[in-house]
Amino acid sequence: AYSTSSRIWFTLSYGILNEIYYPTIDRPQIRDLEFLITDGKTFFHEEKRDLKWDTEYIERHTLGFRIVSSDPNGRYRLIKEIVSDPHQPCVLIHTRLEASPEWQGRLAIYALLAPHLEVGGWGNSARRFHATGRDILVAWKNQTYLALGTSAGFGKTSCGYVGSSDGWSDLHDNFTMDWTFDRAENGNLALVGEIDISKSPEFTLGVAFGESQHMAVSII
């Protein structure tokens, strides 16, 4: 961000958000954040592995990026604009899901985040948290906290252990989200949330950080 009060940096690759650094540029706090897309019946896509993507600046000399990720079979595409809040430790991803006419209303989209708080995958904890009438996901290790939320609201959420009870494994198995674990503690975790696109295919996803749960949640 352009302001020193933000204390946040991020990297991009393979069409997704990779590491977010907080509160200094040498302390990555997540491994990656990406979308999973499925029709619930016939296919499952992981954004960084299955989609074609192009990245560009939102505008020349701006500190924000636009990524267009497309289904190779032409069924849909994701248009994302990624910026960091100018004054808060928060990264925002404004997203629009555009489906071809025959696929409109048939797709589900999930946010999948792997917290690596305090520069490590092990020892992370996470839970579902209800605030201001909506569910968000909170992760923590020691005194570093992360909050993940969306303007559209989550339909379902789950906190799981990578390789056994995480959202990727759940959706990859049968294209539907069957697991809704409220909490996972002291492990290598992945957080997943089904984004409610029933009213609009456009939404903003946010990842905020703080030195307490209250600080991170109040930003998101």
- List pLDDT tens digits, range 183-219: 999 999 999 999 999 999 999 999 999 999 999 999 9
pTM of the model: 0.95
Judge residue 200's burial from the number of C-beta atoms within 10 Å of its C-beta, 0-12 exposed, 13-18 middle, 19 or more buried.
Answer: exposed
CA distance linking residue 34 with residue 12, whole number of Å: 11
Q: Return phi, psi of residue 154, to 5°.
A: -90, 135
CA distance linking residue 220 with residue 215, whole number of Å: 9
User: Is 7 or 106 the better-scoring residue by pLDDT?
Assistant: 106
Closest by Cα among 181, 191, 49 to 110 = 191
pLDDT of residue 3 exceeding 90: no
pLDDT of residue 117 exceeding 70: yes
Q: To 5 degrees, how large is the angle CA 74–CA 77–CA 80?
A: 165
Give the pLDDT band of residue 2 (cuts 50, 70, 90).
Answer: low
pLDDT of residue 42 exceeding 70: yes
pLDDT value for 1:
67
Residue 177 DSSP class: -
pLDDT of residue 50 exceeding 90: yes
pLDDT of residue 60 exceeding 90: no
pLDDT in tens, 26-37: 999 999 999 999
**139-159: average pLDDT:** 97
Q: How far, in Å, are 43, 68, 124, 163 from residue 188 at the CA level?
A: 27, 30, 6, 9
- Cα 77 to chain centroid distance, Å, stands at 17
